[in-house]
Amino acid sequence: MKTLLGTLFLAVTSLSAFDYALKPVRVTSDVHCFFGKPEIMDKTNNGNIVNSCYIDAGEGYVVVDTGPSYLYAESAYKAMKKIKSLPVKLVINTHIHDDHWLGNNYFTEQSIRVLGTDDFKVNADMSEPTRMQTYISPEAYAKTKPTMPTEMISSDTNLTIGNQTLELKIAKRKAHTAKDMVVFLPKSKVLIAADLVFNDRLPSLRDGDINGWIEALGDLDKLGALHVVGGHGNRTDKDAARMTREYLTQMRSEIRAAIAEGLGIDETIKKVSMESYKQYKLYEQTHRHNVEASYRVLEWE
Ligand SMILES: [Zn+2]
């Protein structure tokens, strides 16, 4: 009996005790970020494949993206409180992919504002089970409830929170998704570029448009950021967008050349293999789909 109770106790505590054990990385004195692994979500990484950030606004934090689950959001905030014990004043969701916002209900249950674009109304997948729920462990997904932003915007907006001005900029057209929002801090020249910037793994064009994405990166360049934090990958200097820009630009010109030669989609996928990008993580999982999605856009030019 004693052993059975002991086993039950262990089972219950290990179920409730899942901990992402997230460690914040200092980007600038006012921005810390959590950097996910360059992997596809699974039951080992439990969705810790994405970046999220905390902006210190003096009187409180602004959180940019809430990660793949409730427990991720909780672990991140716990770690930030050790750096400086501040309340969260505002949460921002950069776009609708669920690795970026499934931690929302950790904040909404404390009545904290969550701001996203109106694309959530149109394209966010609020179904049960979510993609994340399907691929990560139930222990890691515990307490997660897909929760929409409490406020939605449709155009560029400047906000003042504490001692920070936040410039929220929305890509002019479909880029990585139908509406991608970035956060620029003019004071420290930090750009939280979300999934318009990937490095150390290949970007995903699954819901995007190659032309809009390249154009959006050009617009981001004009901000003059000194620190650029992408949605995936841990490079944060001012050239952190380089791999994404070069990859997309080379892919576009190779696909255009293939189309001009009269090649069909299958031949183009074979031809535009861009071997030098095999060194990046997720090449096998994403590259071919990226070429296919881009071909379908570029063949109409
Ligand atoms: Zn995304």
pLDDT for 1: 46
- In the reported structure, the alpha carbon of residue 232 is separated from the centroid of ligand 1 by a whole-number distance in angstroms of 9
> Is position 195 within any domain?
yes
* Number of structural domains in the chain: 1
The domain in which residue 82 lies consists of 21-239
With a CB cutoff of 8 Å and minimum separation 6, the contacts of 230 are: 51, 193, 194, 195, 196, 197, 198, 199, 240, 241, 244
pLDDT digits (tens, 9 = 90+) for 137-146: 999 999 999 9
> Is position 244 within any domain?
no
- In the reported structure, the alpha carbon of residue 72 is separated from the centroid of ligand 1 by a whole-number distance in angstroms of 17
> Is position 212 within any domain?
yes
The gap from C-alpha 214 to its chain's centroid, in whole angstroms, comes to: 18
Q: What is the CATH number of the domain that holds 138?
A: 3.60.15.10
> Is position 169 within any domain?
yes
- In the reported structure, the alpha carbon of residue 154 is separated from the centroid of ligand 1 by a whole-number distance in angstroms of 18
- In the reported structure, the alpha carbon of residue 205 is separated from the centroid of ligand 1 by a whole-number distance in angstroms of 9
pLDDT digits (tens, 9 = 90+) for 244-269: 999 999 999 999 999 999 999 999 99
pLDDT digits (tens, 9 = 90+) for 75-97: 999 999 999 999 999 999 999 99
- In the reported structure, the alpha carbon of residue 112 is separated from the centroid of ligand 1 by a whole-number distance in angstroms of 23
> Is position 267 within any domain?
no
* Listed range (123-127, 201-205, 278-282) with the worst mean pLDDT: 123-127
> Is position 221 within any domain?
yes
> Is position 16 within any domain?
no
- In the reported structure, the alpha carbon of residue 47 is separated from the centroid of ligand 1 by a whole-number distance in angstroms of 13
- In the reported structure, the alpha carbon of residue 181 is separated from the centroid of ligand 1 by a whole-number distance in angstroms of 11
> Is position 213 within any domain?
yes
CB 67 within 8 A of CB 99: yes
Q: Where residue 8 falls among pLDDT bands split at 50, 70, 90?
A: low
- In the reported structure, the alpha carbon of residue 287 is separated from the centroid of ligand 1 by a whole-number distance in angstroms of 15
Q: What amino acid occupies position 220? A: L
pLDDT at 125 over 70: yes
